[in-house]
Amino acid sequence: MRRAIFPGSFDPLTNGHLDIIRRSAPLFDEMIVAILNNADKAPMFSVEERSEMIAAVLPSVETGNCEMSVESFSGLTADFAREKKATAIVRGIRAVSDYEYELRMALMNRRLEPTIETVFLMAGEEYSYVSSTLMKQVFELGGRVNGLIPELVEERMRKKSSRAK
């Protein structure tokens, strides 16, 4: 049984995340999309909202025989992966600029839990500049983000910003 976790903030989920899920699914039997519950950050969406959106969008992604689930966690990713008996941590790399941070995280996670490997996948070129932070910024300033985030996420962002006004 090859079980992986795909950890992240997912605030919000982007098509870049979905691209990584689609690419990594054939490599595993099970994959847990693991949302970090980070008390330090003021997120746009609560963990519950993020979890619900991911669960709603996942069926539209071609994941073959890989069984997908969504969970949230607090604390160390390595501890969560160990607790879930995962053998891999999946991370996406968009550009060279991601590499240094990802390398540091992967090496630290390996030190914390030597039996778990980080598996890097290259995001599709069309998503190489897509990040949750950039999507929120552009959206809030009235720019177009269609095609870069799932429609459902865009809809929820619209609702949230109209409520805030």
Question: Is the CB of residue 111 less than 8 Å from the CB of residue 39?
Answer: no
| Nearest residue (CB) to ligand PNS, 66 versus 89 | 89
**Least distance from ligand PNS to the Cβ atom of residue 61, Å:** 17
Positions touching ligand PNS (CB under 6 A) are 7-9, 36, 76-78, 105, 108-109
Question: Is the CB of residue 22 less than 8 Å from the CB of residue 76?
Answer: no
**Least distance from ligand PNS to the Cβ atom of residue 20, Å:** 11
Active site residue 74: no
> Which is the catalytic residue, given 17, 91, 136, 156?
17
**Least distance from ligand PNS to the Cβ atom of residue 99, Å:** 13
> Which is the catalytic residue, given 24, 132, 136, 156?
132
Instruction: Using DSSP, state whether 128 is helix, strand or coil.
Output: coil
Residues, the chain: 165
Distance of CA 130 to the CA centre of its chain: 12
Number of helices and strands (H, E) in the chain? 6, 5
Active site residues: 17, 41, 94, 132
